[in-house]
Structure 1
Amino acid sequence: MTSQTGKYLSDIENDEYMLTNIFKAEVIDTYYDHRGQDNTPLSLFAFDFWQNTKYTYRGVDDVNSHEVKANEEQMDKDLAKMC
């Protein structure tokens, strides 16, 4: 799951791929939330990834929308904090 490659939203018509990514991001976010670590870079990344994946899959946001791009900027910042 990475926004740096830009490929995670390249096949939003692929139900299995998108639903798998939504599930993975939700599991990560929920895991850290239940541990009281919901502000860690990984948890924050997973939440933004989940939002972008969910809303583009449902057709709420366009892949190139301002909302998606803003989330990707935050995801990149969170990735940098993890390295």
Structure 2
Amino acid sequence: MKRVTTAILSLSLILGASVVSPSSIDAAAKSYKNCTELNKDYKGGVAKDSKVTNKGGKTKNTPHVSADLYNANKSKDRDKDGIACEK
């Protein structure tokens, strides 16, 4: 009986640790001070979803798609096209 209990506890610890690993937890979306700071991490800016298109014309880089990150930096989307700080 003690072996069964030990095995169950061990298994639950292993499964619990794998479910709550740092890679599976989403980090809070960072709010950047300005577009220069945002573009250091995301060269093409941040899009709210993959279906948005740039109103400002041709850009050099493809934007990173993240609704949470876009919402945290929504004020930096000057042309309101769904892409903040596009380059």
| TM-score, normalisation: structure 1 | 0.26
Bigger fraction of residues in strand: 2
Between Structure 1 and Structure 2, whose CA radius of gyration is higher? 2
| TM-score, normalisation: structure 2 | 0.25
